[in-house]
A and B are shown apart, each in its own frame.
Chain A
Amino acid sequence: MNLGRTVSRMISLAGLLACGWLMGGCSSTPETDAERQARWQQGNLTSWEIQHGIGPVVEDIQLAAVDNALAERGKAIFVQKCATCHYLDMKKTGPPLRDVTKRRSAEYVMNQILNPEQMGKMHPDGRQLVAQYAQFMTIQGITRDNTLELLDFLRSEAGNPPAPMEQQPGFGTPPPPPTADAK
Chain B
Amino acid sequence: MGFVVSIIGIAALFSGCSPKKEVGGFGDAAEKVYVAPGSYDEFYAFMSGGFSGQVSVYGLPSGRLFRVIPVFSVDPEKGYGYSEETKPLLMTSHGFVPWDDAHHPQLSVTDGQSDGRWLFINGNNTPRIARMDLTTFETVETIEIPNSGGNHGSPFLTPNNEYVVASTRFSVPIPQQDVSISSFKENFKGTISFISVDSVSGRMKIAFQILVPGINYDLSRSGKGPSHGWSFFSSYNSEQANTQLEVNASKNDKDFVAAINWKLAEELIAQGKGQDWTASHYHNYMDDADVGQSEVLNSVKVLVAKDHPGLMYYLPTPKSPHGCDIDPSGEYIVAGGKLAALIPVHSFSKFKKAAEASDFEGEFDGIPIVKYESVIAGEVKDPGLGPLHTEFDGQGFGYTSMFLSSEIVKWKIGTWEVVDRIPTYYSIGHLMIPGGDTKQPYGKYVVALNKITKDRYLPTGPELTQSAQLIDITGDKMKLLLDFPTIGEPHYAQALPATMIKDRSVRWYPIAENKNPFAIKAENESRIERDGKTVHVYMSTIRTHFVPDNIEGIKVGDKVYFHVTNLEQDWDVPHGFSVMGATTSELLVMPGQTRTLLWEPKMAGVIPFYCTDFCSALHQEMQGWIRVSS
Contacts and interface: CB of A to CB of B under 8 A. Distances in A.
Contacts of B570: 138-140
B356 interface: no
B526 A174 contact: yes
A83 B558 contact: no
B543 A83 contact: no
A36 to B, nearest CB: 18
B533 interface: yes
B535 interface: yes
Residue with the highest number of chain A CB atoms closer than 10 Å, among B522, B533, B542, B557 = B522
B186 interface: no
A170 B524 contact: yes
A174 B536 CA distance: 12
A5 interface: no
A79 interface: yes
Contacts of A138: 542-543, 568-570, 573
Residue with the highest number of chain B CB atoms closer than 10 Å, among A84, A85, A140 = A84
B523 A179 contact: no
Contacts, number: 94
Contacts of A183: 530-532
Contact of A134 (B540, B553, B616): B616
Nearest to A169: B524
Nearest to A117: B570
Contacts of B528: 174-177
Given A170-B522, A174-B528, A180-B558, A141 B510 contact: yes
Contact of A140 (B533, B551, B569, B617): B569
Nearest to B619: A135
A176 B528 CA distance: 7
Interface in A125-143: 134-136, 138-141
Contacts of B544: 93, 135
A139 to B, nearest CB: 4
Given A134-B617, A170-B524, A177 B542 contact: no
A172 interface: yes
Interface in A66-80: 79-80
Contact of B522 (A83, A139, A174): A83
B547 interface: yes
A178 interface: yes
Contacts of B616: 134-136
B558 A172 contact: no
Nearest to B558: A180
Contacts of A141: 508, 510-511, 569
B525 interface: yes
A173 interface: yes
B552 interface: yes
A135 B542 contact: no
A79 B524 contact: yes
B331 to A, nearest CB: 51
A135 B617 contact: yes
B263 interface: no
A1 interface: no
Given A134-B617, A172-B526, A84 B542 contact: yes
Nearest to A183: B532
Interface string A4-34: 0000000000000000000000000000000
B618 A135 contact: yes
B523 A139 contact: no
A80 B570 CA distance: 15
B548 interface: yes
A33 B524 CA distance: 35
A183 to B, nearest CB: 6
B336 to A, nearest CB: 51
Nearest to B555: A180
B521 interface: yes
A167 B524 CA distance: 12
A170 B540 CA distance: 13
Interface in B118-141: none
Given A83-B522, A83-B523, A176 B531 contact: no
Interface string B537-561: 0101011110110011111011000
List the 6 shortest-distance A-B pairs measured between CB atoms, nearest first: A172-B524, A141-B569, A177-B528, A139-B570, A134-B617, A180-B555
27 contacts: A79-B524, A80-B522, A84-B542, A85-B542, A85-B543, A93-B543, A135-B617, A135-B618, A138-B542, A138-B543, A139-B569, A141-B511, A170-B522, A171-B524, A172-B523, A172-B525, A172-B526, A172-B547, A173-B526, A176-B528, A177-B528, A177-B535, A178-B530, A178-B553, A179-B629, A180-B557, A183-B531
Given A93-B544, A177-B551, 20 more contacts: A80-B521, A80-B522, A81-B569, A83-B523, A83-B524, A93-B543, A93-B618, A138-B543, A138-B570, A141-B511, A172-B525, A174-B526, A174-B538, A174-B547, A176-B551, A176-B553, A177-B529, A177-B530, A180-B533, A182-B530
Interface of A: 79-81, 83-85, 93, 134-136, 138-141, 170-180, 182-183
